[in-house]
Amino acid sequence: MSLPGSTVQVPTTGVTPASHGARAHLFTAGTVEDYRRVLAEGIGRVATRMAEVDRPFTGVTPDELVPRIAGIDLDRPLGDSGAALDELHDVYLRDAVYFHHPRYLAHLNCPVVIPALLGEAVLTAVNSSLDTWDQSAGGTLIERRLIDWTADRIGLGPAADGIFTSGGTQSNLQAMLLAREETCANLVGRTTERQSRPELLSRLRIITSAAGHFSVQKAAKLLGLGADAVVTVPTDADRRMRTADLAREIARCREEGLAVMAVVATAGTTDFGTIDPLPQIADICAAAGVWLHVDAAYGCGLLVSPTRRHLLDGIERADSVTVDYHKSFFQPVSSSALLVRDRRVLRHATWHADYLNPARMVEQRIPNQVDKSIQTTRRFDALKLWLTLRIMGPDAVGELFDEVVDRAAAAWQLLSGDPRFEVVTRSQLSTVVFRYLPAAAGREVVDDANLYAREALAASGAGLVAGTKVDGAHYLKLTLLNPETTMDDIAHVLDLIAEHAGWYAQTRATAELSCPVG
Ligand SMILES: Cc1ncc(COP(=O)(O)O)c(C=O)c1O
């Protein structure tokens, strides 16, 4: 049937068979067999690739990949999943960076647990959105239980609450938003002087340590604070915040008429895996009446550690805490949360929209997470952690994290006793920062040799390590998050680094001898 004066065809019954055209691709009651088949095919390809991966990276370069991906005509579909998976192998699966490989030793990426992958499969298929009850139902309550469970593990007290976020960066951003609003409200309440909002914002300061995460600076920028809003205090020899300097900075800010809106302590610095002295910092913040945020994006795994929970002592005194389950709980990206001591502060993230979350819902006590989040549509990431806890349990997750912390301690010992290397502070978690020291080389050559070694290792694909700067000099970093990484793996990668860096230093010395500068 067609409409008068139109060539548009409309179905006469209003129902098109599920197998017909575009609709065949929709996941509906009529396509569950396709869903089973296609997903099983995809899982099969990933499983095959995971099993055959013999190094964390193939060493593919952007120049090699760019034309392969650019050459695909996105307007001409392949039509079937098998062909698309073949193509995907070529542009992604073959050359992906594989975190489950024991010689992936670079960033804070973990291998993931199978219960969480089950959760991921379920949550994307059902596709709940955790903004309102009428888009999620039980999902909202499951997320709430996990927030309560995490807050209990931290010890935040009966008024605690929180929200799942996309990652530590977002959790830290939201924490700083809440701290900013609480501080502004206090400042306005305390003075009769009228101050414009920009004037108020320009007076706000966040104090963190020199080893804190850069997302704090980013948050300050996004929150409209001044360029000098983040004050970094130095760290001690163990790369932990110097508390005397923190107290001094708070006093200095006060004297200068500035308002410290938050102190950000780090429980697991990204580079050094060290934990700021939380009890002392909590004392200082309590005495000064300053919001304490603990960035435990990395160190949160200690919450379930059977042997090391005490390293987080003092975290229970925080006003807000960032936890990244996608770092030390072996969860797939994304899975993070922001927890707060006093649920009322989450109101700073609330906006009532008539179509979604009108204020009357609060009166009707309809549970709803969008009022606590800076997102609207939001993934049901909590389900991954739920199934992890229901299948494995928290102790098993903690045991996995303990293993990598033990391994990092052993790697630090190994490096300390190896004259080829210099190793920086001993981590409380699972990083090791070190560098190769070529004999009788100047600072520039040492820097370049280490940079070269990292790149050469990555290009070979035999292992991946990270790099960072310590006091202006280039260092290398192992981040151990895979319990399958053995000391043999670590020793092997260190030998390769020594070989590459040694070769570089030697080649450069020879070149300089044959062609002296000046
Ligand atoms: C201490 C710390 N905080 C925050 C972040 C940011 O987390 P995400 O990458 O999940 O945004 C990181 C990331 O490495 C981190 O190490």
Per-residue pLDDT in tens (0 to 9) along the chain, 518 residues = 334 444 444 444 444 444 568 999 999 999 999 999 999 999 999 999 999 999 999 999 999 999 999 999 999 999 999 999 999 999 999 999 999 999 999 999 999 999 999 999 999 999 999 999 999 999 999 999 999 999 999 999 999 999 999 999 999 999 999 999 999 999 887 776 778 899 999 999 999 999 999 999 999 999 999 889 999 999 999 999 999 999 999 999 999 999 999 999 999 999 999 999 999 999 999 999 999 999 999 999 999 999 999 999 999 999 999 999 999 999 999 999 999 999 999 999 999 999 999 999 888 999 999 999 999 999 999 999 999 999 999 999 999 999 999 999 999 999 999 999 999 999 999 999 999 998 877 889 999 999 999 999 999 999 999 999 999 999 999 999 999 999 999 999 999 999 999 999 999 988 887 876 54
| Cα–Cα distance measured from residue 429 to residue 476, given in angstroms and rounded to the nearest whole number | 16
Give me ligand 1 centre to Cα 218, in Å: 12
Q: How far is CA 341 from CA 158, 178, 182, 291, in A?
A: 8, 12, 13, 11
Q: 376 with 163: CB under 8 angstroms?
A: no
81-88 vs 32-52: helix axis angle to the nearest 10? 20
pLDDT of residue 195: 82
pLDDT of residue 256: 97
Q: Is the dihedral of CA 450, 452, 453, 454 positive or negative?
A: positive
Q: How many CB atoms lie within 10 A of CB 260?
A: 25
H helical segments located in 191-322 = 197-202, 215-222, 243-255, 278-288
Output the six-digit token pair for 427. Answer: 């981590």
Q: 414 with 491: CB under 8 angstroms?
A: yes
The DSSP secondary structure of 22-54, one letter per residue, reads GGGGS-SGGGHHHHHHHHHHHHHHHHHHHHH--
pTM over 0.85: yes
In the numeric block, the tokens 């704090």 are attached to 216
| Cα–Cα distance measured from residue 501 to residue 465, given in angstroms and rounded to the nearest whole number | 14
Atom of ligand 1 lying closest to residue 326 CA: 10
Residue closest via CA to ligand 1's atom 8 equals 168
Ligand 1 pocket check: which of 327, 375, 379 to mutate, most ligand atoms within 8 Å of Cβ?
Answer: 327
Which SS3 state, helix, strand or coil, does residue 271 take? coil
Contacts of 220 (CB under 8 A, 6+ apart): 176, 206, 229, 230
Distance from chain centroid for Cα 258? 31
Q: 475 with 427: CB under 8 angstroms?
A: no
Of the candidates 381, 435, 474, the one whose C-alpha atom is nearest the C-alpha of residue 167 is 381
Give me ligand 1 centre to Cα 297, in Å: 6
Is residue 479 lining ligand 1, measured as CB closer than 6 Å?
Answer: no
Of the candidates 118, 68, 182, 181, the one whose C-alpha atom is nearest the C-alpha of residue 385 is 118
| Cα–Cα distance measured from residue 445 to residue 509, given in angstroms and rounded to the nearest whole number | 9
Residue closest via CA to ligand 1's atom 5 equals 168
Q: 101 with 493: CB under 8 angstroms?
A: no
Helix (H) or strand (E) holding 382: helix 382-391
Ligand 1 pocket check: which of 108, 171, 176, 206 to mutate, most ligand atoms within 8 Å of Cβ?
Answer: 108
243-255 vs 278-288: helix axis angle to the nearest 10? 20
pLDDT of residue 231: 98
Which SS3 state, helix, strand or coil, does residue 512 take? helix
The DSSP secondary structure of 52-114, one letter per residue, reads H--SS-----HHHHHHHHHT--TTS---SHHHHHHHHIIIIITT---TTSTTEESSS-----H
Is residue 109 lining ligand 1, measured as CB closer than 6 Å?
Answer: no
Of the candidates 469, 394, 397, 462, the one whose C-alpha atom is nearest the C-alpha of residue 435 is 469
Q: How many CB atoms lie within 10 A of CB 72?
A: 12
Residue closest via CA to ligand 1's atom 7 equals 168
Length of the chain, in residues? 518
Q: How far is CA 463 from CA 99, 106, 154, in A?
A: 11, 9, 36
